[in-house]
């Protein structure tokens, strides 16, 4: 039987985690799948674990060379026989109905080609949320990746027709780059429930991986902002500072970031290159998030937001004001962080 879904997984020295990842695929309630595991030159017991796993649907492709995630995923997708491609990493665990839920969603929404989901963090069990609709995803991609990479499933044919592959020059953020290119011709969505437990340690700002991830993501972000204008080096430097999560805690710097993002909202509302009002609302939410962090650190600067046009597209809500109070109380009590992701 030809599999309906091809799960593509690259693995490098994953002996400690790949067994649990394969177990989660074995327990899937949707059975008509193939699992393509690409061993990227592992030097541990990874390939033996996969080779001896008792599931005939697994196809192991081995290599003595380590070429990186993007190259291996392209290789696996080229081998795939399914009409749907599902991503999966060797250190993540799927819920038993992950594939069934995504297949049902895509079949019920034939206009949508890409479908991701929310995820649980392996670090603390918190829910990592992503935007749901195509318009929200498109505008979120301007600032950040809008999918949990290993949660994504897509229709194989549109990607083949548009010659879409991962860019092998990206050691990290290869998914972000691909989504930004693919969103031009594919409708995308996320399902509003976690369908997997996800190792999000790459986003740790203190890690070397996190730093490299941000560096490569900047190339994708720069490409997008250049659609809105011909910016000089100083303006691009300002943009890079403004789209980060966690601004420099200096009121003058914060004010320049707010003014810059307010300007970009105005430019897009005139040029309409990105969906409105979603684009302005996304920028507004990003500004508010960073102003809340600054408030928590003792820099009361929420007044800056009220001067922007963005505040009309993403107004401050009662919940935002409550967070401001929590942050202020937390400061007075000496609490470093109040609340958290749920």
- Cis amide leading into 277 (omega within 30): yes
Domains (ranges, CATH) in the chain? 5-201 (3.90.550.10), 226-332 (no CATH)
Q: pLDDT (tens digit, 9 = 90+) per residue, 13-26?
A: 999 999 999 999 99
In this prediction, what percent of the chain has a pLDDT beyond 90? Answer: 74
% of the chain surpassing 70 pLDDT: 91
The arithmetic mean of pLDDT across residues 30-39, rounded, is: 98
pLDDT digits (tens, 9 = 90+) for 207-249: 777 778 888 999 999 999 999 999 999 999 999 999 988 889 8
Tens of pLDDT, residue by residue over 149-197, are 999 999 998 887 777 899 999 988 999 999 999 999 999 999 999 999 9
Rounded to an integer, the average pLDDT of 119-139 is 92
Q: What is the pLDDT of residue 202?
A: 61
Hey, what are 212's tokens? 């490299």
319's CB contacts (< 8 A; 6+ apart) are none
Per-residue model confidence (pLDDT) at position 301: 86
State how far the Cα of 13 lies from the Cα of 90, in Å rounded to an integer.
9
For 328, counting Cβ atoms within 10 Å of its Cβ (0-12 exposed, 13-18 middle, 19+ buried), the class is middle
pTM, 2 dp: 0.89
Left, alpha or beta for 247 (phi > 0: left; psi -120 to 50: alpha)? beta
What is the mean pLDDT of the segment spanning 57-63? Answer: 96
Residue 332 has pLDDT above 80, yes or no: no
The pLDDT assigned to 319 comes to 61
* Lowest-pLDDT range of 37-41, 146-150, 338-342: 338-342
Average pLDDT score, the chain: 89
The pLDDT score that the predictor gives to residue 272 is 95
- Grade residue 318 by pLDDT with cuts at 50, 70 and 90: low
- Count the Cβ atoms, other than its own, within 10 Å of residue 121: 17
Q: Is 339 left (phi over 0), alpha (psi -120 to 50) or beta?
A: left
d(CA 273, CA 305): 24
Residue 80, token pair as written in the block: 């795939």
Beta carbons within 8 Å of 232's beta carbon, 6+ residues apart: none
Residue 204 — very low, low, confident or very high, per pLDDT cuts 50/70/90? low
**Residue among 55, 68, 11, 71 at smallest CA distance from 37:** 11
Q: What is the pLDDT of residues 269-297, one digit of tens each?
A: 999 999 999 999 999 999 998 998 888 88
């Amino acid at each position: 039987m030809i599999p309906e879904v091809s799960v593509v997984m690259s693995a490098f020295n994953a002996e400690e985690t790949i067994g649990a990842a394969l177990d989660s695929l074995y327990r899937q309630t949707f059975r008509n799948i193939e699992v393509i595991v690409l061993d990227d030159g592992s030097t541990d017991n990874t390939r033996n674990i996969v080779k001896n796993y008792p599931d005939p649907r697994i196809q192991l492709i081995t290599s003595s060379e380590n070429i990186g995630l993007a190259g291996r995923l392209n290789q696996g997708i080229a081998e795939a026989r399914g009409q749907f491609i599902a991503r999966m990493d060797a250190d993540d665990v799927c819920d038993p109905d992950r594939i069934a839920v995504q297949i049902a969603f895509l079949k019920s929404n034939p206009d949508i080609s890409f479908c991701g989901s929310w995820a649980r963090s392996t670090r603390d069990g918190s829910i990592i949320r992503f935007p749901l609709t195509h318009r929200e995803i498109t505008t979120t991609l301007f600032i950040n990746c809008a999918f949990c990479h290993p949660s994504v499933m897509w229709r194989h044919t549109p990607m083949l027709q548009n010659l879409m592959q991962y860019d092998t020059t990206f050691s990290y953020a290869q998914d972000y780059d691909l989504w930004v290119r693919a969103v031009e011709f594919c409708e995308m969505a996320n399902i509003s429930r976690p369908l997997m437990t996800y190792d999000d340690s790459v986003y740790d700002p203190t890690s070397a991986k996190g730093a490299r991830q941000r560096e490569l993501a900047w190339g994708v972000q720069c490409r997008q902002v250049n659609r809105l204008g011909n910016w000089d080096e100083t303006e691009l430097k300002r943009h890079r500072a403004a789209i980060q999560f966690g601004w420099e805690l200096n009121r003058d710097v914060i004010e320049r970031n707010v003014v810059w993002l307010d300007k970009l909202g105005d430019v897009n509302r005139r040029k309409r290159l990105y969906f409105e009002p979603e684009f302005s609302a996304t920028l507004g939410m990003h500004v508010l998030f960073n102003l809340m962090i600054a408030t928590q650190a003792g820099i009361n600067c929420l007044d800056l937001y009220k001067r922007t046009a963005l505040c009309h597209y993403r107004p401050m809500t009662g919940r935002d004001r409550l967070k401001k109070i929590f942050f202020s109380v937390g400061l007075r009590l000496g609490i470093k962080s109040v609340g958290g992701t749920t």
